[in-house]
C-alpha cells in the first residue's frame, strides 16, 4: 500500500519538524545575569517597555527574587523565577542588603512591647525605612489594627535612598612598568615659597555672607514624623504618623484637650455593677515633629459615684521616651532630666490612687534600639554584631521592671 506508506512518512516528518522547532524555541540562550534584586512593593507589575504605561507582561510580589538582565539609566530589565522578563524602575526594587535589613527589622521588633493599638481611616503605605522615597512593601487597609512600637522624626529629603543593584565593574589593573630604575638620583626639590602675609584675607570668599546673616537667612529643615508599626502577621515597617490614630475608646479620648495621644495601656478594671471599666494610662504630645515621644502622661479611673472617667494622676511638661511599660497594677515611664540623663519612674496603683514606687536609670529607649538603616551598599555582615539581640535585652529589662 504505497499511499499508506507515503502518508506515514509525511506524518513522521511533520512530527519531527514540530519537535525540532519546539527544541529550538526552548533552547534559546537566556540573557546573562548582571545583578540580583527583590520586588519591593506588595505587588509589582513588570512592563514590556521602559514606560509605566506600556503593556504589563507579569506581576510579582514583595520579596520575590529577580535576576537583573539589563539596565537603562534608572530602569532595569529583570527576569522572574519562571523566566518572564520585563522592565521596572529602580525605586521598586530592593538590593540584598535592604532585604536583609527588612527581615531583620521584623525579627527585632517581634518581642518589643506594644505602645498601643492604632488604626487608619484609609489605606496607608508601609515603608521599609522612615523616608517617603523608600520602597513601600506593604499596605495597611482601612480600619486595620496595628501595634505602635517606636517613633522617629527624620529630615525630609527629595532623593530616594541609594542602593546597589548591579555590582560595579572591577577597575582594570595597570601592568607594572618594566623600565629599569635609573642609577642617577633625581635633583633635590626646591623649597616651597612662603605664604603671603595676607593669606587669611585672601582665603576668605568675598561672596559668602557673614556667619550671623547666613544663619538668619537659612531656611528651617523640613521634617517628617514617622511611627514604627507591627502588623498582626508580624511584619514591621514605617508609616507617616499623621495618618494613624490611637484606638483608645472615645469616652477617654474626649479628654485629650487638643493633645495628640501617642500611647495607651490598660492598668486593670473596675466593676460597676455588671459592667467592667478599664483603668487607662495614656501619654500625649503637643504636636508632631517633637524630638521625644511624649511630653505628658495621665491615668484615668472610673468613678462609681459619677459613672464617668476622672483623672487619678497627671504629669505635664516632661520629655518622655518609649517604651512605656505597663501591666495590671503598675507602670513606668522613661523621662529625661535637666542634665540630659534619663530615669525610669515607677508607679503602682493602690485602688484608684497612683503612688510613686521609685526610679532607676532608663534602659536603651526605642529611639536607640531601633537604629537607622546602615549606609546604602553596606552589607549587614559588615556591621558590628551586638552581644545580645535587641529583643532579648528588652525582654530581660521588662521582666526586671515588672518584677517577674
Domain hosting 279: range is 258-371
pLDDT of residue 385: 39
Based on the fold, state whether residues 114 and 143 are members of the same structural domain: yes
pLDDT of residue 183: 76
CB-based contacts of 21: which residues, under 8 Å, 6+ apart? none
pLDDT of residue 161: 61
- Pairing verdict, β 43-47 and 117-119: unpaired
Based on the fold, state whether residues 145 and 236 are members of the same structural domain: yes
**3-state SS track over 54-101:** CCEEEEEECCCEEEEEEEECCEEEEECCCCCEEEEEHHHEECHHHHHH
CA 224 to chain centre: 13
CA distance 168 to 68: 14
pLDDT of residue 18: 52
In a domain, 398, yes or no: no
**Domain tally for the chain?**
3
Phi, psi values for residue 334, rounded to 5°: -100, 120
CA 240 to chain centre: 11
DSSP H or E stretch at residue 119: strand 117-119
CA distance 166 to 169: 9
DSSP H or E stretch at residue 344: strand 342-350
Structural domain ending residue among the three candidates 94, 118, 148: 94
Based on the fold, state whether residues 300 and 329 are members of the same structural domain: yes
Would you write out the chain's pLDDT as a tens digit for each of its 404 residues?
Answer: 555 455 445 455 555 555 444 444 444 567 898 899 999 888 899 999 998 899 999 999 988 999 999 999 889 999 999 999 999 998 888 888 888 888 888 888 988 999 999 999 899 999 988 988 887 888 899 999 999 999 999 998 766 566 778 887 777 777 766 777 777 888 888 888 888 888 888 877 776 666 655 555 667 788 999 999 999 988 999 999 999 999 999 999 999 989 999 999 999 999 999 999 999 999 999 999 999 999 999 999 999 999 999 999 999 999 999 999 999 999 999 999 999 999 999 999 999 999 999 999 998 655 445 544 443 333 433 333 334 444 455 456 545 544 54
pTM for this prediction? 0.70
CATH code: domain of residue 136: 2.30.30.40
Based on the fold, state whether residues 240 and 285 are members of the same structural domain: no
Based on the fold, state whether residues 113 and 233 are members of the same structural domain: yes
Based on the fold, state whether residues 138 and 77 are members of the same structural domain: no
Amino acid at each position: 500500500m504505497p499511499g499508506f506508506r507515503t502518508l506515514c512518512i509525511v506524518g513522521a516528518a511533520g512530527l519531527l519538524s514540530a519537535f525540532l522547532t519546539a527544541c529550538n524555541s526552548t533552547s534559546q540562550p537566556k540573557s546573562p545575569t548582571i545583578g540580583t534584586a527583590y520586588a519591593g512593593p506588595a505587588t509589582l507589575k513588570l512592563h514590556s517597555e521602559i514606560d509605566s504605561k506600556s503593556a504589563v507582561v507579569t506581576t510579582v510580589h514583595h520579596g520575590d527574587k529577580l535576576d537583573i538582565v539589563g539596565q537603562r539609566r534608572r530602569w532595569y530589565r529583570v527576569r522572574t523565577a519562571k523566566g518572564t522578563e520585563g522592565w521596572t524602575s529602580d525605586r521598586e526594587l530592593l538590593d540584598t542588603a535592604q532585604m536583609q535589613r527588612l527581615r531583620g527589622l521584623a525579627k527585632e521588633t517581634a518581642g518589643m512591647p506594644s505602645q498601643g493599638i492604632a488604626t487608619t481611616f484609609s489605606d496607608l503605605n508601609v515603608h521599609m525605612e522612615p523616608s517617603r522615597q523608600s520602597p513601600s512593601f506593604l499596605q495597611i487597609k482601612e480600619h486595620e489594627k496595628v501595634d505602635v512600637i517606636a517613633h522617629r522624626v527624620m529630615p525630609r529629603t527629595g532623593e530616594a535612598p541609594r542602593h546597589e543593584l548591579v555590582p560595579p565593574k572591577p577597575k582594570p589593573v595597570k601592568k607594572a612598568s618594566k623600565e629599569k630604575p635609573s642609577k642617577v638620583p633625581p635633583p633635590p626639590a626646591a623649597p616651597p615659597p612662603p605664604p603671603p602675609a595676607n593669606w587669611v584675607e585672601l582665603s576668605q570668599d568675598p561672596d559668602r555672607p557673614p556667619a550671623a546673616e547666613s544663619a538668619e537667612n537659612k531656611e528651617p529643615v523640613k521634617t517628617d514624623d514617622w511611627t514604627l508599626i507591627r502588623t498582626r502577621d508580624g511584619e514591621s515597617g514605617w508609616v507617616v504618623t499623621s495618618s494613624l490614630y490611637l484606638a483608645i475608646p472615645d469616652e477617654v479620648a474626649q479628654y485629650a484637650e487638643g493633645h495628640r495621644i501617642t500611647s495607651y495601656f490598660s492598668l486593670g478594671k473596675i466593676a460597676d455593677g455588671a459592667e467592667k471599666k478599664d483603668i487607662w494610662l495614656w501619654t500625649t504630645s503637643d504636636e508632631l515633629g517633637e524630638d521625644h515621644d511624649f511630653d505628658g502622661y495621665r491615668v484615668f479611673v472610673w468613678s462609681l459615684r459619677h459613672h464617668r472617667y476622672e483623672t487619678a494622676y497627671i504629669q505635664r511638661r516632661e520629655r518622655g521616651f518609649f517604651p512605656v511599660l505597663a501591666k495590671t497594677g503598675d507602670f513606668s515611664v522613661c523621662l529625661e532630666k535637666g542634665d540630659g540623663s534619663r530615669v525610669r519612674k515607677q508607679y503602682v496603683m493602690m485602688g484608684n490612687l497612683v503612688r510613686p514606687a521609685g526610679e532607676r536609670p532608663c534602659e536603651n529607649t526605642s529611639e536607640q534600639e531601633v537604629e537607622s538603616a546602615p549606609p546604602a551598599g553596606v552589607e549587614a555582615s559588615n556591621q558590628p554584631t551586638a552581644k545580645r539581640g535587641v529583643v532579648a535585652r528588652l525582654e530581660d529589662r521588662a521582666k526586671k521592671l515588672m518584677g517577674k
